[in-house]
Chains A and B, each alone.
Chain A
């Protein structure tokens, strides 16, 4: 079964930039652009931050951006703000009619 590897935690100071990586394989992350990222605050439902690898839903600040290199997708948050502190999950199509999530990364600001 496919797995996506994310760092357990990342941290940054207000105003700085951080990047969260999400490593899969050539069958999933590396094989298409069906990568999405979610922000989840404690006790709340997840919120879509990036879809189709690089697209931002309406209302998501342009401080959030997505990218990919080979089998690793990345979420970059620039100009960190205290309100960005949350768990972040990557998600991708496996290539076999299913999707998988990474284990999540806790961002501390």
Chain B
């Protein structure tokens, strides 16, 4: 299993950004996928989940209405569109895979992360 995130950059407050996660080594369409972030020197924070075919998506209250998660089964990729970015969105963003096919079981594979910095 390999998860590779990309797209993290320095962006101004109020700006937008799209993160990508390229998956390989497993049947991508059989697993829900999540985004988890970690602010510098802080703990882990769950961000969002998307179901096998993208029919269900859920978000943390802190990003609801600003972030949109999506996936492309043909590219075995997941995306996170981040809008109206704030300084407290500054974090390492990890792409993770469910341990089992269903939701909420645990995250058994993690990417190396991509760093998003929101600063003027």
Not counting A46-B44, A51-B105, A104-B44, a sample of 10 additional A-B residue pairs whose C-beta atoms are within 8 angstroms of each other reads: A1-B61, A38-B107, A46-B36, A48-B107, A48-B108, A48-B109, A51-B108, A98-B59, A99-B46, A101-B43
Judge whether A79 is part of the interface by a CB distance below 8 angstroms.
no
Q: How distant is the Cα of A40 from the Cα of B92 in the complex, in angstroms?
A: 14
Interface of A toward B, CB cutoff 8 Å: 1, 34, 36, 38, 40, 45-48, 50-52, 55, 57, 89, 91, 93, 97-104
> Chain B residues with Cβ under 8 A from A45's Cβ?
94, 110-113
Q: How distant is the Cα of A29 from the Cα of B94 in the complex, in angstroms?
A: 24
Q: How distant is the Cα of A53 from the Cα of B99 in the complex, in angstroms?
A: 12
Q: Is the CB of B44 within 8 A of A89?
A: yes
Question: B42-92: which have CB < 8 Å to A?
Answer: 43-46, 58-61
Asked, given contacts A89-B43, A101-B45, whether A47 binds B110 with beta carbons under 8 Å apart, the answer is yes
